[in-house]
A and B are shown apart, each in its own frame.
Chain A
Amino acid sequence: MDKIAYYNDLLARHEELLFHELSDCCGWKTEFIGIDFIQSRAIQGSSRDEIIEACMREIAAAGLVKEIAYAVAGQDVLLRLKVKGCMHLGKEIRLRERGIKVYNCIIVNMIHDQLIEKLGYETAYTAEIDVHEEEGWCEIKSAIFENMDKIGCVSDWAEECRRIDDENSWISVQA
């Protein structure tokens, strides 16, 4: 029996149900999903990048993903992640099969949690999740806010993403 597929099917049913209850806002309710794992690890760091990279190492070492990369841009508000070989990809595929926009990335929830818990970030918001199921990876764009003054710091994320790719400013961790 494929236990990962089994658990992903259960999660997908739960997320389908939540979507049915809350539609496009359901992602606002799921930010604690995944935090038990990351809080059980002794994530340490005194800067944003140290925390993100410490989370990535733990996530990859535990086998939750095969590879994970990040970049921060847009006045330090845009956190862009690429996640390859995530054990929860099956959940996202199930949701897409049922016509539901993917809304809950457990991996980014973990990173947000540690930025908030360890560095006192004001808040974070998962803005967009693109699933590339055939290639087996996801791209997540989230907004991270170090403090209240960062609310309203806007930029063109399409342009920011182009720059990240052109300059190859990704930092990655492999399992």
Chain B
Amino acid sequence: MGDLLEIISSRKSIRRFTTKPVPEAMIYKVLEAARWAPTGENYQPWRFIVVRNQETRNKIGDLAKVGSGSRMTAWYCLGHMQERFMKIEDPVKRAEVLRFMYSGEVSEFAKTAPVVIAIMGSLKVGSVDVPYDLSAAIENMLLEAHSLGLGGCWVHGPVASSRDAKKFKQILNVPTGMNEYKVIAYIAIGWALEARKHPRPKLPLHELVYWEEYGKTSQRKLTLEEIVSWEQFGEEGK
């Protein structure tokens, strides 16, 4: 058996896709991976809607654009976004990245992803575990997609606010009552247009792990500010 860690650690979020269709057999494999995710008391509350229709994906893309763009417009106006992207030294590039974010374009890619899979949980079947079960299923799907050579991205933005979650359900004809289904995210999958680079740097284990009890560590931990600006650091230690 191969080491799964190689697949896990080489996956990165892909938001740009070619127009090449994804074979149905691959979509089924991705869904099959979800089916085997851990689930509390084996409730299996997850339900999936596979969307390939362009018009529907456009609606989802617009909803995502508005969801992300509205929040990021406000954050930019308050100065928060500029602080976050100070790590981009070239001011022209920084301005373009910021515009890409606050315009909401960053989240529009459901329009160009050949396959969008909405992930929702039945609140009648599941229990306290619903969001966690669904998250485990999503991770399985992304790893399976990556192992098949596909790119994918986990998107929560368009279902983040209560009003947007309702709109998302309406697009897909999901019952909108808050007592029935919780739509937690969708994933966009397809063939990556962008060259696969190594995933963004991750914090080293010693920053994340305590042994035996909280706070027990032999190394100095980063401050919150250092963690937030982690990717500004040099290659050393990444």
User: Measuring CB to CB, which residues of chain A are less than 8 angstroms from any residue of chain B?
Assistant: 25, 28-32, 74, 77-78, 116, 122-125, 127-128, 141-143, 145, 148, 151-158, 160
Determine which of B76, B162, B163, B164 lies in contact with A154 in the assembled complex, contact meaning CB atoms within 8 Å: B76
A interface footprint on B74-114 (CB within 8 Å = 1, 0 otherwise):
11111100000000000000000001001110000000000
* Chain B residues in 8 Å Cβ range of A124: 70
Task: Please tell me if the beta carbons of B102 and A77 are within 8 angstroms of each other in the complex.
Answer: no
Chain B's nearest CB lies how many Å from the CB of A28?
A: 4
A25 to B75, CA, bound (A): 13
A100 to B134, CA, bound (A): 28
* Chain A residues in 8 Å Cβ range of B164: 123
Q: Which candidate, B61-69, B118-126, B210-218, is the interface stretch facing chain A?
A: B61-69
A128 to B73, CA, bound (A): 13
Task: Please tell me if the beta carbons of A152 and B77 are within 8 angstroms of each other in the complex.
Answer: no
* Chain B residues in 8 Å Cβ range of A125: 70-71, 74, 161
Q: Given the known A-B contacts A74-B77, A128-B78, are A152 and B162 also in contact in the complex, defined by CB atoms under 8 Å?
A: no
Task: Please tell me if the beta carbons of A29 and B70 are within 8 angstroms of each other in the complex.
Answer: no
Of A145, A151, A157, the most chain B CB neighbours within 10 A belong to A151
Q: Given the known A-B contacts A145-B66, A148-B66, are A127 and B162 also in contact in the complex, defined by CB atoms under 8 Å?
A: no
Return the chain A residue nearest B72 by Cβ: A152
Q: Does B160 contact A (CB under 8 A)?
A: yes
Task: Please tell me if the beta carbons of B66 and A78 are within 8 angstroms of each other in the complex.
Answer: no
A32 to B166, CA, bound (A): 11
Chain B's nearest CB lies how many Å from the CB of A39?
A: 14
Task: Please tell me if the beta carbons of A143 and B104 are within 8 angstroms of each other in the complex.
Answer: no
* Chain B residues in 8 Å Cβ range of A155: 77
Chain A's nearest CB lies how many Å from the CB of B128?
A: 11
Task: Please tell me if the beta carbons of A77 and B65 are within 8 angstroms of each other in the complex.
Answer: no
Determine which of A25, A29, A116, A152 lies in contact with B69 in the assembled complex, contact meaning CB atoms within 8 Å: A152
Task: Please tell me if the beta carbons of A154 and B77 are within 8 angstroms of each other in the complex.
Answer: yes
Task: Please tell me if the beta carbons of B66 and A77 are within 8 angstroms of each other in the complex.
Answer: no
Task: Please tell me if the beta carbons of B73 and A153 are within 8 angstroms of each other in the complex.
Answer: yes
Determine which of A25, A143, A151, A154 lies in contact with B65 in the assembled complex, contact meaning CB atoms within 8 Å: A151
Task: Please tell me if the beta carbons of A152 and B161 are within 8 angstroms of each other in the complex.
Answer: no
Q: How many residues of B contact A (CB 8 A)?
A: 23
Task: Please tell me if the beta carbons of B160 and A31 are within 8 angstroms of each other in the complex.
Answer: no
A44 to B121, CA, bound (A): 38
A145 to B164, CA, bound (A): 14
Q: Given the known A-B contacts A25-B160, A28-B162, A116-B163, are A151 and B66 also in contact in the complex, defined by CB atoms under 8 Å?
A: yes
* Chain B residues in 8 Å Cβ range of A157: 77-79
**Could you jot down 13 A-B contacts, CB within 8 Å?**
A28-B71, A28-B162, A32-B163, A122-B66, A123-B67, A123-B163, A125-B70, A127-B78, A143-B74, A145-B73, A151-B102, A152-B102, A157-B78
Chain B's nearest CB lies how many Å from the CB of A160?
A: 8
Q: Given the known A-B contacts A30-B162, A123-B163, A151-B103, are A145 and B76 also in contact in the complex, defined by CB atoms under 8 Å?
A: no
Task: Please tell me if the beta carbons of B77 and A123 are within 8 angstroms of each other in the complex.
Answer: no
* Chain A residues in 8 Å Cβ range of B65: 148, 151
Task: Please tell me if the beta carbons of B77 and A156 are within 8 angstroms of each other in the complex.
Answer: yes
* Chain B residues in 8 Å Cβ range of A78: 77
Chain A's nearest CB lies how many Å from the CB of B80?
A: 9
Determine which of B62, B79, B104, B160 lies in contact with A152 in the assembled complex, contact meaning CB atoms within 8 Å: B104
Of B62, B75, B77, B78, the most chain A CB neighbours within 10 A belong to B77
* Chain B residues in 8 Å Cβ range of A77: 73, 77
Task: Please tell me if the beta carbons of A127 and B74 are within 8 angstroms of each other in the complex.
Answer: yes
Task: Please tell me if the beta carbons of B77 and A151 are within 8 angstroms of each other in the complex.
Answer: no
